[in-house]
Structure 1
Amino acid sequence: MIPFDEGRARLLLAHACESAGLPGPGDARLIALGENAVFDLGDPAVVAKVARGPELYDRAHRELTVAHWLAGQGVPVVRPYEALAAEPQLSHGHPVTFWHRLAPAVRPARPVDLAPLLRALHRLPLPPVPLGRRDLLAPVERWLASAEGQVDPADVAFLRHRRDAFAAALEDLVPRLHPGVVHGDALPRNVHVGPDGPVLLDLEFVADDLREHDLVVLALSQDRYGVPAEEYRAFTEAYGWDVREWPGFTVLRGARETASASWVAQQAASSPAALAEFRRRVASLRDGDTGVRWYPF
């Protein structure tokens, strides 16, 4: 398997730009490397997302469609680059999408900036395109398989067991909120605070599911990623409810922790820091210690 690293992503980006009739990416700036390699092309004012694998084509296509629909509903979201057709470019099988670059941020996003965006999202009817469920655990097998030979097989077996247990428990959850459109990865890093206010980014996981999905993310972030208690409290006050009061919180939180630990595995081959973080996360789950700090990638 060819590793998906910055060098590989740049080659894929160059091919996609050529196919799209865009200038060569030259010294495009890498913004993020995870499920996608995200690049700022500089000139034109476009951001490109290069997907890690061909299996992500449907998700990339749906993200473009959902972005157009949300913008039409008045939700502030990042906009696809309108000079291209509303479908991903294929670069050696990898889907690549292009987006208008936003104006520079006026400040870092805070948890409270998510509240009005989620309230607007959670009021929407279902779109005219099928969304599917927010299946947190569906990619776990792919992430773990990509790390074969790089991580301890016992850790892989442990995460697979957790995945199966939580998948069964999720089926029995009774929501407090009316199910519907959710963002699916509602974190401050997916909000850009520009001159006109907060804008919602990364729409790949928009789904039709329990609204609680969008609220558990920040509660977990307080425990695992160091979000201050006062910032979390400001978010819940602005949204109008604290998901920790919901009986299903522990199950949904556990499912998301299982997915988050498994996600890091796919970077273990190319990053010693990712391997160390994977081991940290699995150890804390084995110990049942919900207070161990995790570090983002």
Structure 2
Amino acid sequence: MIPFDEDRARLLLAHACESAGLPAPGDARLLALGENAVFDLGDPAVVAKVGRGPELYDRAHRELTVAHWLAGQDVPVVRPYEAVVPEPQSADGHPVTFWHRLAPAVRPARPADLAPLLRALHRLPLPPFPLGRRDLLAPVERWLASAEGHVDPADVAFLRHRRDAFEAALPDLVPRLHPGVIHGDALPRNVHVGPDGPVLLDLENVSRDLREHDLVVLALSHDRYGVPGEEYRAFTEAYGWDVRDWPGFAVLRGARETASASWVAQQAAGNPAALAEFGRRVASLREGATEVRWYPF
């Protein structure tokens, strides 16, 4: 398997830009490397997302569709770059999408900036196209398989067992909020605070599911990733409810923790920091240590 690293992503980006009629991205700046490699092309004012694998093509296509729909619903969201075809470019099977670069941020996003965006999203009716469920655990097998030979097989077996247990528990959850459109990865890092206010980013996990999914994300960020208590309280006050008061919280939190630990595994090959973080996450789950600090990638 060809590793998905910055060099590989740049090569795929060059192919996609050529197909889309965009200038060669020689000076493109890497912004993030995870499920996607995200590049700022500089000139034109475009950001490109290069998918880690061909299996992400449908998700990339849905993200473009969702972005157009949400913009039409007056939800502040990042906009696809209209000068290219309205579907992902395929570079050796990898999906590549192009987006308008936002104006520079006036400040970092805070949890309270996320709350009104989620309230607006959660008030929407269902769109005129199908949305799937927010299956947190569906990619776990792919992530773990990509780490074969790089992580402890016992850790992989442990996470698979957790995945199966939470998959069995999820259908029995009784929501407090009315299910519907959700963001699916509702974190401050997916909000850009520009001159005109907060804008919602990374729409690839927009789904039709329990609204509680979007609230558990930040509760877990408070417990695991160091979001201060006062900022978490500002979020819950702005949204109007604390999901930790919901009886189903432990199940959704456990499912998301399982997915988050498994996600890091795909970066373990050749990345000692990712390997160490994977070990930290799995050890804390084994021990039931719910407040051990995790570090983002």
Q: What interval of TM-score do these two structures reach, taking the shorter chain for normalisation?
A: over 0.9
CA distance in 1, matches of 2:229, 2:72: 35
CA distance in 1, matches of 2:248, 2:271: 35
For residue 153 of structure 1, report the CA deviation from its aligned partner: 0.2
Report the counterpart of residue 221 of structure 1 in structure 2: 221
CA distance in 2, matches of 1:119, 1:15: 39
Q: Does 1:83 align with 2:54?
A: no
Question: Root-mean-square deviation (CA), in Å?
Answer: 0.3
For residue 172 of structure 1, report the CA deviation from its aligned partner: 0.4
For residue 270 of structure 1, report the CA deviation from its aligned partner: 2.6
Percent of pairs with identical residues: 90
CA distance in 2, matches of 1:272, 1:27: 28
CA distance in 1, matches of 2:131, 2:100: 23
CA distance in 2, matches of 1:272, 1:65: 37
Report the counterpart of residue 11 of structure 1 in structure 2: 11
Report the counterpart of residue 250 of structure 2 in structure 1: 250
SS at match of 2:141: helix
CA distance in 1, matches of 2:86, 2:253: 34
SS at match of 1:198: strand
Q: Tell me the TM-score normalised to structure 2 length.
A: 1.00
- Shift >4 Å, 4+ stretches: none
Report the counterpart of residue 208 of structure 1 in structure 2: 208
- Aligned pairs, how many? 297
CA distance in 2, matches of 1:186, 1:162: 23
Q: Does 1:100 align with 2:92?
A: no
For residue 59 of structure 1, report the CA deviation from its aligned partner: 0.1
SS at match of 2:172: coil
SS at match of 1:296: coil
Structure 1: state its 5+ residue gaps. none
Counterpart residue type for residue 271 of structure 1: N
Contact 1:48 1:99 in 2 (8 A): yes
CA distance in 1, matches of 2:72, 2:291: 41
Q: Does 1:167 align with 2:196?
A: no
CA distance in 2, matches of 1:83, 1:28: 18
Q: Tell me the TM-score normalised to structure 1 length.
A: 1.00
Structure 2: state its 5+ residue gaps. none
CA deviation profile, 1:175-226 (whole Å, cap 9, x unmatched):
0000000000000000000000000000000000000000000000000000
CA deviation profile, 1:65-120 (whole Å, cap 9, x unmatched):
00000000000000000111210000000000000000000000000000000000
Counterpart residue type for residue 26 of structure 1: G
CA deviation profile, 1:234-291 (whole Å, cap 9, x unmatched):
0000000000000000000000000000000000003110000000000000000001
